[in-house]
Structure 1
Amino acid sequence: MTSTLSTVLYQLARFTSIELFFIAIGTLTTIIIALIGAILYIMLAKRNIAKQQAQLQQQFKYWLVSIILQEPDQQLQRFEVPDDIKPLLYRRFARKALLAELIRLKNDLSGQSGNNLIKLYNELQLDRLSAYDMRNGRWYDKAKGIQELAVMEQKAYIDEIYPLANHRHPMVRMEAQIALVCLQQYEGLSFFENLKYPLTEWHHIKLLQLLANHPIPSETIVNSWLNSSNPSVVQFALKLIAEQHATQFQNEVIARLSHPSDAVRNQAIACLGEIPSAPAATALRTHYSSESSKVLQLTILSGLVKTGTAGELPFLQELQLAPDESVRLAALKTIQHLQQQA
């Protein structure tokens, strides 16, 4: 062992510092060239895959257009697959390209045309590709698979999607939650009961869009959301009440003005502006002095623009003497608006 080490040290000692420098430069240059080569290879491979996919989608497009245009009385037991398409369906890459084109078209179509695409999706068992992605370990595959199953109205997968509504990755759980509502409307919001994570603002918007044409099914379910331990669920319930101008929840909304979360109180104030009434105005005026957040106090004054009446003028006129200029300006704006209404 000692002799081997001595030999190595002797060989190293033979090199001058200049020789070692050139060896290091050569090694580094080789590594850089290899990395550049690998990057170029990956870029060319991706470009080639994208080109092949575009060609396949163009080939599928003409066939899919003929399927979209078929009327119910024109449909046979199964859609006919052209001879030039049949061999492609045995290739996974081609099936994924067809799936991508189907999803793209279905996102823009409804009614009979959309139903035709769903029927073809089922006939070709493309749900297996979507389900495989949903079950895959990579988050972006999961999110993509869930989205495809929702777009193609695959209710048979609801039981598999439901646990993903609490997935640790935000994109996966968001797609799962949207899919559940897309497939089941209000019933799909049952994941609220066990929700571990907060809903984002964008997520609220998406869920409300899906429910826009569906009236609130029962007061009980909304009241349970208003009493949720998850503040973002309470916010969603308040937004839903505001969107649908559900005045029957007025007392429950007023009660949320004392919620510990600033975000919930802010949403309750905004909600009362969408279901204006004398009790709502009184509740806002009364809550003003006990509100700890100056921002929310200003929000209350803005809310009185929508729900206030001439009865709030004495309260607002008192605020004209407040030391804070922003409060005085907000009160003045509300006074002017209420006087114009009167």
Structure 2
Amino acid sequence: MDIAVLILVLKVGLLILILLWISISFIMIYRRRRSRKLRLIENTFAEVVSNYLYPDKENPVSLVEIQRLMRKIGIRESRMMNVQYLITLMIRTQRSILGKNHHKLKKLYSQIPPYRASISKVRTYGWYNKACGIREIYEMNQTQYLQEIIPLRNHKNLYVRREAQIALVVFLGWESLRFIPYLRQKVTLWQQIKIVEKLYDLYKEPQVEALRKIYGSDRTFAKQLIMRIIRKYGLESEIDYILSHLDHSNYEVREAAIYCLNSFKVTTKIEEIKNFFHRIPVVSQQRQLIDYIFENSEIDLNFYMDLLRTSNDEIKLKAAEILWNSGYKEKVQEFYLQQYSNTGVYAE
């Protein structure tokens, strides 16, 4: 009985070993064929892009021929893995090509089949697939899905609404700003930077009228975004909007205003900025504004002497440092001697 059990165990073990070797062989064969297929797709796509961007004048390639070639190498709706790999190649290629060829690629991408692959992701429930699908859509300039992306700008998931907002900027440019006041979720600093950079990359010419339409928004993130756009495009005509937020009640809005103001040399507004200085409740932000005033105007002795008389020691030291380094050592010495004499330190 023991021998029969042992023989059975050996047979089962041998069967498992055979199945394992068959599985390994199958996987190796599949991977080899898959790698060969991916190389074919990559090489064919590279050749298509090259011939499209730098066509032979005597024998130019047509978009119909490109579509047929894509189907021939397996870019079909029934083979989604091939389609997804092509999408990855398309996005990677577009990021590495700039100038006129970048815009030519947009036209080419509008004629290559894998549209439904990206929109299918957007229509799924999972947030990760939604975000990836939106990103693929705007990277490949699939404007026909704009209406499906617009509602996602207020999606509960941060990454989905982030990609949707970037998509609106890509497709609509300056007109996308009209959605800013209607955003229900906060636009983070990182997202503000992405929106500004994407807007500047794609739409170099500023449209001030479109920007002014959202000046009335009371959302703090909208105010910060507007000021960052003004800074990025160097819109000196809109500097008053930045100045009006130097004394805003929100710390982050004031911080954005001071940061953006530092990109401009507004010598004609110095007196106005000095008035805002006294209405700023945070010392660190007052110090930043003192630096700006010092770097962009002549020394105003009365202003800095008034700062020496304030109750905050940091502001006093900053004012004393500026006066001392600007040739007013005697004024600083005289002020502090008066302070010490009042305390009786030098009394005989």
Partner residue of 2:86?
A: 98
1:329 Cα deviation from its structure 2 partner: 4.2
1:217 equivalent to 2:204? Answer no
Partner residue of 1:58?
A: 39
1:248 equivalent to 2:229? Answer no
Question: Unaligned 5+ residue runs, structure 2?
Answer: 1-28, 328-348
1:291 equivalent to 2:280? Answer yes
Distance 2:31 2:220 in 1: 44
Out of 258, 265, 268, the residue aligned to residue 276 of structure 1 is 265
* One-letter amino acid of the structure 1 residue matched with residue 46 of structure 2: V
Deviations 1:160-212 (A, max 9, x none): 11111111111111101111111221112222131111211111211111222
* One-letter amino acid of the structure 2 residue matched with residue 67 of structure 1: V
SS in 2 for 1:258: coil
1:142 Cα deviation from its structure 2 partner: 0.8
Partner residue of 2:129?
A: 141
Partner residue of 2:20?
A: none
1:109 Cα deviation from its structure 2 partner: 2.0
Summarize the Cα distance change of 1:49–1:258 in structure 2 as closer, same or farther, 3 Å threshold: farther
1:327 Cα deviation from its structure 2 partner: 2.2
Q: Which stretch shifts more, 324-333 or 61-70? A: 324-333
Q: Is the 8 A contact 2:121 2:129 kept in 1?
A: yes
Matches within 5 A, 1:118-129: 118-119=106-107, 121-129=109-117
Query: 1 or 2, which has the higher helix percentage?
Result: 1
Q: TM-score, normalised by structure 2?
A: 0.73
1:135 Cα deviation from its structure 2 partner: 1.4
Summarize the Cα distance change of 1:144–1:333 in structure 2 as closer, same or farther, 3 Å threshold: farther
Question: Unaligned 5+ residue runs, structure 1?
Answer: 1-47
Matches within 5 A, 1:97-246: 97-111=85-99, 113-114=101-102, 117-119=105-107, 121-212=109-200, 213-219=203-209, 221-246=210-235
SS in 2 for 1:107: helix
* One-letter amino acid of the structure 1 residue matched with residue 163 of structure 2: E
1:314 Cα deviation from its structure 2 partner: 2.9
Summarize the Cα distance change of 1:209–1:235 in structure 2 as closer, same or farther, 3 Å threshold: same
Q: Is the 8 A contact 1:130 1:148 kept in 2?
A: yes
Summarize the Cα distance change of 1:243–1:82 in structure 2 as closer, same or farther, 3 Å threshold: closer
Q: Is the 8 A contact 2:75 2:113 kept in 1?
A: no
Q: Is the 8 A contact 1:165 1:173 kept in 2?
A: yes
Partner residue of 1:75?
A: 61
1:225 Cα deviation from its structure 2 partner: 2.9
Deviations 1:93-133 (A, max 9, x none): 22222222222222222456545654554444211111111
Summarize the Cα distance change of 1:111–1:202 in structure 2 as closer, same or farther, 3 Å threshold: same
Summarize the Cα distance change of 1:56–1:294 in structure 2 as closer, same or farther, 3 Å threshold: farther
Partner residue of 2:246?
A: 257
1:250 Cα deviation from its structure 2 partner: 2.6
Q: TM-score, normalised by structure 1?
A: 0.74
Name the Cα RMSD after superposition.
3.2
SS in 2 for 1:214: coil
SS in 1 for 2:204: coil
Percent identity between matched residues is 22
Out of 296, 301, 307, the residue aligned to residue 319 of structure 1 is 307
